[in-house]
Amino acid sequence: MIEFTVESIGGPNIDGEFQLSILAAKTGQTISRTHISEQPNFDKIEYLEDYKINKSLNNYLFMKGKVKVCYEWDETNGIEQRDIDKIQEIYSVNNLEDTHTPRTITDNSLTYEIDHGGYVTEWRERSTNYELSSHKSSITSLQDDTILICCLQEDYGYKFYNVDIQPDESIETNKIGDTTYLLVGEDCEVTVPATNRRIKWTHAFNQYDCKKLVSSKCSIKNISNNICRVVMICK
């Protein structure tokens, strides 16, 4: 179930690879599932060893605002304390915003909150890269103008990396993967260095532009007045 407002980006799809949609929410609006098998590409699910934890199949990229993420289970899921301990360990090691993420754990649920506070200061795989393998899961907006972007892939296999850039600051970026796209949450300038075959060149990116990165490296500058989340979509 999706209560967020949906707006397409860049037409039907981008280069025949994926379709991007902006999901804009007011406070209290929710995206939810009632069974784990409802997710796209469920036949590709990968579990972490013998834990009730899987590599996330969801296509949602958190760009702005504040959300609450909740996993709920019953005895049919088989989730135990060791699974809860393990997912918290993963969060603490992999997620740079973990120390800013309050969590609530009950006998049958795990809930945490994430705000876009600019905590991801270097390129990392997206924070929701692993999740508990519960049937019920939901994302609830905790403030107006919360933005997620949904990336529906034509051919499953893309990975998502993200970084936050402060206003008027830049980050040097090495291309990850063979096929790579940059998606920006605010207005940016992307500069590719000079080579023997081309001069140095700066490309303008408007908010939510997504463009293919061909150069092996680039510099991304946030030219807006807001913290900018940049996502690398790659395989």
pLDDT-based confidence at residue 5 (cuts at 50, 70, 90) = confident
| Maximum distance among all Cα pairs of the chain, rounded to whole angstroms | 62
pLDDT at 225: 98
* Stretch among 49-63, 156-170, 192-206 having the lowest mean pLDDT: 192-206
* Stretch among 10-24, 58-72, 216-230 having the lowest mean pLDDT: 10-24
Amino acid found at 47: Y
Query: Buried b / exposed e across 91-115, counting CB within 10 Å, b at 16+?
Result: beeebebbeebeeeeeeeebbbbbb
Q: Which helix (H) or strand (E) holds 85?
A: helix 81-94
CB 144 within 8 A of CB 213: no
Residues 92-149: pLDDT tens digits?
998 899 999 999 999 999 999 999 999 999 999 998 899 999 999 999 999 999 999 9
HEC profile for the chain? Answer: CECCEEEEEEEEEECCCEEEEEEEECCCCEEEECCHHHCCCHHHCCECCCCCEEECCCCEEEEECEEEEEEECCHHHCCCHHHHHHHHHHHHHHCCCHHHCCEEEECCEEEEEEECCCCCCCCEECCCCEEECCCEEEEEECCCCEEEEEEEECCCCCEEEEEEECCCCEEEEECCCCCEEEEECCCEEEEECCCCCCCCEEEEECCCCEEECCCCEEEEEECCCCCEEEEEEEC
The model's pTM is 0.93
Residues 158 and 85: their CA atoms lie apart, in Å, by 28
pLDDT at 40: 86
pLDDT at 11: 60
Q: Where in the chain is the domain with CATH 2.60.120.810?
A: 158-234
Which residues lie across from 153 on neighbouring strands?
A: 18
Q: Token pair for residue 54?
A: 């899987």
pLDDT-based confidence at residue 196 (cuts at 50, 70, 90) = confident
Q: Which helix (H) or strand (E) holds 141?
A: strand 136-141
pLDDT-based confidence at residue 24 (cuts at 50, 70, 90) = very high
C-beta neighbour count of 56 within 10 angstroms: 18
CA distance readout (Å), 72 to 17, 33, 77: 33, 10, 9
Which CATH number applies to 158-234: 2.60.40.10, 3.40.50.300, 3.40.50.1100, 2.60.120.810? 2.60.120.810
Q: Provide the residue count of the chain.
A: 235
pLDDT at 36: 94
